[in-house]
A and B are shown apart, each in its own frame.
Chain A
Amino acid sequence: MRPLDAAKAKTRLSNSTLLFIIAGVIFVLMYGFALITYPGSFMQFQTFFDLFNFNAALFIVALGLCVVMIGGGIDISVGAVCGLVTMACAMFLQLGGGSIWGALLLALAIGLAFGLMHGLLIAYLEIQPFIITLAGMFLAQGLLTTLHREPLNVTQPAFVALRNYTIEIPWLGTVNRLGVFIPCEIKPGVLVVVVLVVLYAILMKWSRFGRNVYAVGGDRQSARMLGINVKRTIFLSYVLCGLTAGISGFVFLMTTGAGNIGNGSLFEMKAIAANVMGGVMLNGGVGNLLGAPIGTMTLLTINELIRAAGVQSNLQAIVSGLLLYVFIVLQSAIVALRGSEKFKLALPSWLKLRN
């Protein structure tokens, strides 16, 4: 490493990047710890893939919320919208006999409708985002219970085929006790997650919209002075978030195959926690989009670890709360130390992430 590069990295490393690197390091440490303590379950690749298989919807919700959070807003309706979409699609497929493509369109339409409503009210009427998305959450929950109270299992053959469809990775897997090789499996939802992560990362990093979101989240006034259309940027970020929540609802249904009132409940809180762990700040303007999946993975690894450790069920919430506490304090301590100029972190140039 040439000294010039190091000096350059020192000056260019932004808070977003620092927090993102912390998030990444913590995830690696966490997973490493899990590997050492519980090699039986965590050594298998399937365990890692199952994090994605069973929580694809949470990953997607966190992605959409991340965009809004970078823009300095908040959307607490995402979980409820996700739940509403699962139930609406389940009814469409099961009771209405609709096709899968129709259900997907319905999911997108519901998400888009909520996103448009939030965006219009928050950006153009300048209403506080928390209250509007709270109303959106009530609306989605109310619609969900009005639509159907009982759990609704989708038994349509085409959909069941999609639900049970798995992609096998032939060159990766484990050998079981009988000596039979079991390849790793991933669900189509994971592909959706990967595609969306790539798309959103490109959008936030290289598109005009993404840069505008960072500028608006950092300082609305200066963004306006720079000639950025602040209102349209905020509007679009909420529309994107709503749309993502719609997609996540469809992916949720694809994973579980049933519409239920409890679907997606507390997803908004989990997604906020995941984003915070991924180094995205609620104040806005700070954060790397890749932090959302990293934070979600950290959160899920924590839960998985607690489950593997066999902690009593009512202690699980406390332990995960404590870990969240440690994490938040660590994050804030590092940022504070950096602010006081006593602590410099120089990174090799190849690790630099642009923001």
Chain B
Amino acid sequence: MPRLKTRFNALSHLFLPLSVLVILILINLIKGADYFKITVVNGAFYGNIPNILFGASELVILSIGMTFVTAASRGQDISIGESGAISSAIFVQYVLRAGNVTLGTILVGFLISCLAGIIIGAFNGTLVSFFNVQPMVATLILFLGGRSIAFIIDGKVSPILANEISNRIGTVIPGIPIQTPIILTAVFIALVAVVLRTTNLRLYVEAVGINPSAARLNGINPKKIIFLTFLLMGVCAAVAGFIAVNKAGRHDSVNLLKFIMMDAILAVALGGNSLGGGKFSITGSIIGAYTIEMLNRTLLRLEVNPEAIKVFKAVFIIVLMVLASPVVRDFAAQALEKVKSIAAGRAPGHRGALSMTDAPGKKGE
């Protein structure tokens, strides 16, 4: 029984994003039963589900980075779209100047863009960890100026990536039935999972997020950990920029990853993470990111007026957050207990109290 309970505990934070996912799937199935239909075009899978996985790849990667930043620094990075735009601009410039494009050039270009992402992360991280600036304010600087930097790197045009390898990275590699961005995202998620399994990163980040002074007294340097999370965020932004620019086939410094930070923060919150730092769940954020993409596509599928999409999205978020709020959860738990005690008839009172501790509502984060 105790083991079962702890497993339930571990899953309870995923209750919200998973139930939303299920509701969205149900809505889609009501709209049309062919929702899960997968067609094979040119040897690759296409359909609603692959499209969601494909479309959400950048968002998933960014929301992973955002989860780390949120957990450690108790704030959000709002410059992720801009850092993705800058690092991918550098990538595009490198590839275009290399002349003959081979897999090696792409790889080197990718590594250089990752380095650029790390530098951007270091810039933000220095401000947040060493100058004690609130993350939102610190990243506001790049949010305001970042796109102009990308624009200047581009040389005031939007360069086109017209080579075979980029095209394949953005779409499909012949012979592999899954679209490449999906594979890249999966590899990235696996890497993060390995890092979290093999290192103490999770422990340190959570310790710093819960109480920086207590973490310091226990020998963890909170400044270093916060700085590290921003470096990670920079890498995530670079990878997301790499995928986005290969998908689009050209580097549009104005619109690339525009306003994606809102969706990334939303994904973190949907995943059951507190935006106030502390314990975090990467799985939740990933599911949250896919949920947002699915919501966007569901609204399109339901033929909602494109002007009104944002209204529906807003209403959806509000309803969701109300249902997930601690007050409503406690209320639901109490109601559940009452129903149970009525159902049990004249059962002894302590059974009701027991069932209350098992109710999902009490296991808020």
Contact = CB atoms under 8 A, between A and B. Distances in A.
Contact of A328 (B127, B152, B265): B127
Given A127-B322, A324-B144, A332 B131 contact: yes
B38 interface: no
Interface string B140-167: 1111111111011000100000000000
A142 B309 contact: yes
Contact of B265 (A131, A132, A139, A142): A131
Contacts of A145: 307-308, 310
B315 interface: yes
A142 B145 CA distance: 26
B8 interface: no
A126 B325 contact: yes
B277 to A, nearest CB: 11
Which of B133, B143, B265, B312 has the largest count of A CB atoms less than 10 A from its CB?
Answer: B133
B343 interface: no
Interface stretch (B189-197, B198-206, B211-219, B268-276): B268-276
B321 interface: yes
Nearest to A329: B131
Contacts of B262: 134
B313 interface: yes
Contact of A128 (B147, B269, B305, B311): B269
Contacts of A318: 145, 148-149, 152
Contacts of B321: 121, 125, 127-128, 131-132, 135
A117 B318 CA distance: 10
A317 B148 contact: yes
A316 B309 CA distance: 33
A208 interface: no
B137 interface: yes
B141 to A, nearest CB: 5
Q: Size range of the interface on A?
A: 35 or more
A138 to B, nearest CB: 4
B310 A134 contact: no
Contacts of B151: 314
Contact of B326 (A126, A135, A325): A126
A22 interface: no
Interface stretch (A98-106, A198-206, A275-283): A275-283
Contact of A143 (B133, B140, B311): B311
B333 to A, nearest CB: 15
A320 interface: yes
Given A126-B325, A336-B132, A134 B265 contact: yes
B314 interface: yes
Nearest to B78: A269
A257 B246 CA distance: 43
B327 interface: yes
Interface string A265-299: 00001001100100001110000000000000000
B308 A142 contact: yes
B317 A138 contact: yes
Which label, helix, strand, loop or mixed, suits the secondary structure of the B interface?
helix
A126 B329 CA distance: 11
Contacts of A317: 144-145, 147-148
B265 A127 contact: no
Contact of A146 (B149, B269, B274, B311): B311
B353 interface: no
A59 B241 CA distance: 35
A322 B317 contact: no
A39 interface: no
Given A324-B144, A329-B131, A128 B274 contact: yes
Which of B136, B310, B321 has the largest count of A CB atoms less than 10 A from its CB?
Answer: B310
Contact of A121 (B156, B310, B318, B326): B318
Interface in A306-355: 314-322, 324-325, 328-329, 332-333, 335-336
A181 interface: no
Interface string A103-128: 00000000000000100010011111
Interface residues of B, number: 48
A130 interface: yes
B148 A146 contact: no
A139 B133 contact: no
Contact of B327 (A125, A130, A320): A125
Interface in A136-185: 136-139, 141-143, 145-146, 149
Given A146-B307, A314-B148, A139 B315 contact: yes
Which of A121, A273, A314, A320 has the largest count of B CB atoms less than 10 A from its CB?
Answer: A314
A139 B307 CA distance: 11
Nearest to B276: A128
Which of A142, A143, A276 has the largest count of B CB atoms less than 10 A from its CB?
Answer: A142
Nearest to A145: B307
B5 to A, nearest CB: 26
Contacts of A131: 265-266, 269, 275, 317, 321
B187 to A, nearest CB: 30
Contacts of B322: 121, 125, 127
Contacts of A74: 136
Contacts of B327: 124-126
Contacts of B314: 135-139, 142
Contact of A333 (B131, B138, B147, B269): B131
A283 B317 contact: no
16 contacts: A121-B322, A121-B325, A125-B328, A127-B322, A135-B317, A137-B314, A138-B317, A139-B314, A139-B318, A142-B309, A146-B305, A317-B148, A320-B145, A325-B127, A329-B131, A332-B132
Interface of B: 75-76, 127, 131-134, 136-138, 140-149, 151-152, 156, 262, 265-266, 269, 274-276, 305, 307-315, 317-318, 321-322, 325-328
Given A127-B321, A324-B141, A328-B131, 20 more contacts: A74-B136, A125-B326, A127-B325, A128-B276, A130-B275, A131-B317, A132-B318, A135-B315, A135-B317, A138-B314, A142-B307, A142-B314, A145-B307, A146-B311, A282-B134, A314-B151, A317-B148, A322-B145, A324-B140, A324-B144
Which 7 residue pairs across A and B have the least CB separation, nearest first?
A321-B145, A142-B310, A142-B311, A139-B314, A138-B314, A135-B317, A145-B307
